[in-house]
Homo-oligomer: A and B are copies of this chain.
Amino acid sequence: MARPERRTVRDIRRGNRAVLLHTLYFSGPTSRNDLTARTGLSAATVSTMTAGLLAENIVVEAGQVESDGGRPRVLLRVNPEYGFAVGVDMAETHVRVGLFDLEMTERAKVDYVLRPARHDPELVARHILSGVEVVLSDAGVSPEQVLGVGVGVPGIVEPGPDGVIHAKTFGWDGVPLGALLRRGTSLPLYVDNGAKTLGQAELWFGSGRGSSEAVIVLLGVGVGATIVADGTTFRGVSSSAGEWGHTKIVADGRPCRCGGRGCLEAYVGIEAILDRAGVASQGDWEEDLDRLLASESPVIQETVSYLGVGLANLVNLINPEKIVIGGWVGARLGERLLPGIRRATAANSLAEPYAATSIVLGRLGPDAVALGAATLVLEEFLNAPQVARITAAG
């Protein structure tokens, strides 16, 4: 029951502008002539529209290429310095703030360590706000040039303007991070779950590129998934879709830190893996995992099997074109065990959907959460490039 919405002639312009910008952004330097072919718009429209974008400095010329004997084409591209996006990765142990230009090149970054069990919302908000100031001054970018600030956080983010967060592992239950930040800045804010921003990053710039039906899976301390349907992150009714880590794969199974039993995270989360292997961790999980992988422990094969069950459930239910395995645990497991993971998934999937799915590793490193958060800003920009810039008050 898709209820369409009323449209007016103006929406057309806005929409076609977005089409043009998307094409320009993802096809790189492109001539007007190419643009007519790629967008399906008429040459006339492309001409007037690019003229506008050039006048606003959103698009710039990028040299010429000769054509077969005729007038050479002028290449156009999105001006990477038209504006900047801030991406924030707020994790359980640190806050990382990055400044990106429109090509998503990182221009500056800064880290703050969070002492465990010291997650005062006010403090975290101050870290983020001062982080924004630091990266801006480091890169010599003024606040007026910033199109927005994206923040990736653990836990569930309520929809709405206040960016209310529920993060059990954090001790946050109903913290309005968005509202706290807005007290200190007037830049547009985008708060989203970190697994979703990582998914956004892999979808736009990593292994998910080009897919419009995909699932990006995050394996780390927590386990989550970003479901992409028709090119857009699927959020569900209250923005908590994708809690894959707490789907049950063993009815009445191992207890999970969420309070439930038999959750996937209770088998393939890093704590669960080490626990099942009987490793008494000294705190450096990455080293522990590497050592475990190097050993011949049967726990590894078990982990692959459980992961296969979890992935197969996604294959059967979601029928994605691609599953991208991300997160640092995912990277390490996938590095050596990808064929086994694929086999385990196949063993638990129906043949048709499995055949339609390719399972690949994520391409982006640990910075992907911040990159994806910044990408939220980019997405907004490409969809509705402002003509009048919002003035930042600070």
Chain A interface (Cβ within 8 Å of chain B)?
1-9, 11-12, 15-16, 18-19, 22, 39-41, 156, 166, 203-204, 209-210, 212-213, 225, 227, 229-232, 234-244, 246-251, 253, 258, 260-262, 305-306, 309, 312-313, 316-321, 347-350, 352-353, 356-357, 383
Contacts and interface: CB of A to CB of B under 8 A. Distances in A.
Contact of A246 (B3, B305, B316): B316
Contacts of A19: 3-6
Contacts of A352: 156, 166, 238, 240
B7 A350 contact: no
A138 B353 CA distance: 41
B250 A250 contact: yes
Nearest to A214: B237
A32 B14 CA distance: 29
6 contacts: A8-B12, A9-B12, A237-B319, A251-B306, A258-B350, A261-B348
Given A229-B234, A309-B251, A350-B258, A41 B6 contact: yes
Contacts of A240: 319, 350, 352-353, 356
B212 A236 contact: no
Contact of A243 (B11, B227, B305, B353): B353
Contact of A356 (B15, B39, B238): B238
A232 B2 contact: yes
B312 A248 contact: yes
Given A225-B317, A236-B356, 4 more contacts: A2-B231, A237-B356, A239-B319, A260-B350
Contacts of A1: 203-204, 209-210, 212, 231
Nearest to A200: B1
Given A237-B356, A316-B243, A7 B16 contact: yes
A158 B247 CA distance: 28
A247 B41 contact: no
A383 B213 CA distance: 23
Contacts of A350: 156, 240, 243, 246, 258, 260
B309 A248 contact: yes
A309 B353 CA distance: 23
B320 A237 contact: yes
Contacts of A251: 249-250, 253, 305-306, 309
